[in-house]
């Protein structure tokens, strides 16, 4: 029988993607494992493979189409002697829900139904929540959604008071202004409009959610690099050479930082956690994400079980991740999850900054530049190479004292790096 090819979910949080390119055309013979198309998410480009043999009978979604919902039919494969007929009808978009309540589980498309508020901003609500809110005269923009990614669901509407007014906007530039209203502020100037791509939209959504829903707490310390830098130099001098006479590996300061943070989390296991409303997730290993800047945004590949890996292995993995990240070739399992993250802006000359926690992680470490500073040792002023680091925590999971303990363990490993090698 005809087989529908569906838009795949390339990560647990993916709701839609872009059908970037078809690699087969209608009428082509395909076999199981053949690559049919390329799909782009906000952070990666992946391939869609055929799962059956046959003929690519119909392409339902043209290449270049944005916002294709997960599990939506994108093509049909026909077996020998089969015709399109009913297969195309079966692949047509499902009818809109009727006014009657829906008892069954909603489809992925229904769960993520966006609507517009009066000021032009987008509100995500389930169809049932939207319908009941309209009946009760409730303004959905006044509600804080309790569903996944802040979606308004039925219980949010049932708990709201009829006629609820929109939430008060913060002082300063109005929040949720329409595009026309924003552009009117700049009408005396000149500018170009660059539409947001999927990555920038996702970054904006996730960081906004984090700052609005995660109570951040910050702890900063200064750390000496006087022992680490000479050790790094000695290790790199011992690196074997390849056939061209170049070092096989070169350990960076960031590799030491990844290792030190991982070992600090194992030393302070109460901080190696993630928050959920019902329980604390206590991780067995330290999976350290590392922010990598790529065109249009950033991505955070994860060094799994970093506490168990040597510096050269961490270095090799990071070089591979960074190269594939820039071409958007990372697999979802390589950048999702993780128990903490590192954001290093030291190479850009940034002295100190505060990073935003990336849920469901509960911590992120912001690394400033290493620089020569005047430091008091005993009764003397000496010049040392130091850096400032700031730990951001989800205060629900890691409070101030615990964050300070974790940062103290990290400082110990950086200032006495030999402890990471024993």
Active-site residues: which are they? 395
Give phi and psi for 384, each to the nearest 5. -130, 155
SS3 97: coil
Q: What is the CA radius of gyration of the chain?
A: 26
From the list 301, 262, 268, 302, the residue with the least C-alpha distance to 285 is: 262
201 CB contacts (<8 Å, ≥6 apart)? 42
Handedness of CA 289, 290, 294, 298 (dihedral sign): positive
Cα(298)–Cα(319) distance, integer angstroms: 15
Tell me which residue of 129, 130, 156 sits closest to 145, measured CA to CA.
156
Which pair of structure tokens corresponds to residue 25? Answer: 């055309």
Q: What are the residues whose beta carbons fall under 8 Å from the beta carbon of 225, sequence distance 6 or more?
A: 253, 370, 384, 385, 386, 387, 414
Cβ contact 114:130 at 8 Å: no
Cα 393 to Cα 365: distance, rounded to the nearest angstrom? 9
**Exposure of 5 by Cβ count < 10 A (0-12 exposed, 13-18 middle, 19+ buried)?**
buried
SS3 30: strand
With H, G, I as helix, E, B as strand and everything else as coil, classify residue 363: strand
How do 340-344 and 288-290 pair as beta strands? parallel
CA 267 – CA 382 distance, rounded (Å): 31
Rounded to whole angstroms, the Cα distance separating 2 from 91 reads 11
CA distance 169 to 264: 41
The tokens of 201 are what? 């939209």
- C-alpha–C-alpha distance, residues 340 and 365, integer Å: 8
Concatenated DSSP letters for 166-226? Answer: PPPPPSSSPTT--HHHHHHHTTTS--------HHHHHHHHHHHHHHHHS-EEEEEEEEE-T
């Amino acid at each position: 029988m005809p087989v529908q090819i569906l838009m795949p979910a390339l990560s647990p949080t993916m709701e839609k993607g872009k059908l970037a390119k078809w690699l087969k055309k209608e009428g082509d013979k395909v076999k199981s494992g053949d690559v049919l198309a390329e799909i782009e998410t906000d952070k990666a480009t992946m391939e869609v493979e055929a799962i059956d043999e046959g003929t690519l009978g119909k392409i339902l979604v043209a290449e270049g189409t944005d916002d294709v919902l997960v599990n939506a039919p994108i093509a049909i494969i026909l077996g020998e002697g089969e015709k399109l007929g009913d297969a195309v009808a079966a692949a047509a978009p499902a009818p809109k829900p009727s006014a009657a309540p829906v008892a069954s589980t909603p489809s992925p498309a229904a769960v993520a139904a966006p609507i517009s508020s009066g000021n032009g901003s987008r509100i995500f609500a389930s169809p049932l929540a939207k319908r009941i809110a309209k009946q009760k005269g409730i303004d959905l923009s006044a509600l804080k959604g309790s569903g996944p990614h802040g979606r308004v669901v039925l219980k949010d509407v049932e708990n709201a008071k009829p006629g609820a007014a929109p939430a008060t906007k913060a002082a300063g530039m109005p929040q949720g202004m329409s595009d026309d209203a924003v552009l009117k502020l700049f009408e005396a100037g000149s500018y170009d409009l660059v539409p947001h791509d999927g990555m920038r939209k996702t970054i904006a959504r996730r960081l906004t959610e984090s700052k609005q829903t995660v109570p951040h707490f910050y702890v900063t310390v200064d750390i000496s690099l006087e022992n680490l830098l000479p050790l790094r130099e000695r290790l790199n001098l011992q690196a074997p050479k390849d056939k061209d006479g170049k070092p096989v590996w070169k350990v960076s300061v960031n590799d030491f930082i990844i290792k030190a943070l991982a070992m600090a989390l194992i030393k302070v296991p109460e901080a190696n956690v993630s928050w959920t409303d019902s329980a604390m997730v206590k991780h067995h290993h330290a999976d350290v994400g590392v922010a990598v800047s790529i065109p249009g945004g950033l991505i955070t590949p994860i060094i799994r079980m970093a506490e168990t890996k040597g510096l050269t292995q961490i270095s090799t993995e990071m070089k591979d991740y960074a190269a594939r990240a820039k071409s958007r070739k990372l697999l979802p399992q390589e950048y999702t999850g993780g128990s903490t993250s590192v954001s290093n802006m030291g190479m850009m000359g940034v002295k100190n900054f505060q990073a935003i926690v990336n849920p469901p992680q509960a911590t992120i470490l912001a690394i400033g530049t290493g620089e020569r500073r005047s430091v008091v040792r005993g009764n003397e002023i000496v010049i040392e190479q130091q850096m400032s680091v700031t730990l951001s925590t989800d205060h629900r999971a890691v409070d101030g004292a615990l964050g300070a303990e974790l940062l103290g363990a990290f400082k110990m490993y950086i200032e006495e790096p030999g402890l990471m090698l024993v």
